[in-house]
Structure 1
């Protein structure tokens, strides 16, 4: 691949803890001290009450599948080498909704509401079938998993 990956934003002072935790296999969300609600993607303020008392919290890694789409054609690197893949939106157990990729999910087995668990591919959180949702896999994904 030429140049930097296009599927990972450049970390800044706010998002650096998120990406550093992901590189270590931990998923973080932000939680508001004023209203108590969690949110994702990382922001300096709460999108629910506009409170500025937001802190990092480790997420459980559990989620449910909200929706997904099979992508069969994508000309943008690094996605070209990954097609077909399942682009997904998941509901984290902590409440926020997150865009991600569904991995280790055989064609035709994805279903709305299925339990998922986080896995990490090259420091990027992705999700796969979790307990009660099929074959949960062990640990983190290697860099060659697609």
Structure 2
């Protein structure tokens, strides 16, 4: 069940043909949160470094097990590319599609799909997260214009 501030989670388990994440180790909590419509990142209590993708140690100071915080899910397109040739199985019918480096309000940057027409995105565009559930264990964070 999703909370009042969570993003939509669209069930695409029957139609998704792309890669499926396998939660393991330090990323297990991240993928569990996606199923609840929450985008989480790690925030080190020792040095303040915010990081995403999840890691066993802080990239700033090396402390083990930095805790997770919930992101607002809002960010800005730092850079993007329009893919005209599918880079993965399951993307052939999506071309052209947008992949962007998104700077979250909280600081971390992540690479993600942007679900929009290529002409509708540019560097500096505001985006918000939504999720596509692709398995019983994970939902992909996908951004949309905001």
TM category (shorter chain) comes to 0.7 to 0.9
Q: Deviations over 1:106-145 (max 9, x none)?
A: 3322111111110111211011111xxxxxxxxxxxxxxx
- Where structure 2 has 5 or more consecutive residues not aligned to the other structure, the ranges are 1-15, 134-138
**1:127 maps to what in 2?**
143
Q: Under a length normalisation based on structure 2, what TM-score does the superposition of the two structures give?
A: 0.79
Kindly report the root-mean-square deviation, in angstroms, between the aligned alpha carbons of the 2 structures: 2.0
CA–CA distance in structure 2, aligned partners of residues 9 and 107 of structure 1: 25
CA contact (8 A) 1:31 1:56 kept: yes
Choose the corresponding residue for 1:83, options 95, 100, 106: 95
Shift of 1:40: 0.5
> 2-side partners of 1:59 and 1:46: how far apart?
18
Q: 30, 40, 46: which is aligned to 2:52?
A: 40
Structure 1: gaps of 5 or more residues: 131-146
- In the superposition, the TM-score normalised over structure 1's length comes to 0.79
Alignment of 1:107-146 (within 5 A): 107-122=118-133, 123-130=139-146
Query: Offset at 1:75?
Result: 5.7
The C-alpha deviation readout for 1:13-33, integer Å capped at 9, x for no partner, is 321111111012110101101
Q: Which residue of 2 aligns with 1:27?
A: 39
Secondary structure at 1:30 match in 2: strand
Change (3 A) 1:77 1:53: closer
Displaced runs of 4+ in structure 1, greater than 3 A?
Answer: none
* Alignment match, 1:18: 30
Q: Which has the higher contact order (CA 8 A, sep 6+)?
A: 2
What is the aligned length?
A: 127
Please state how far the C-alpha of 1:9 moved relative to its aligned partner.
2.9
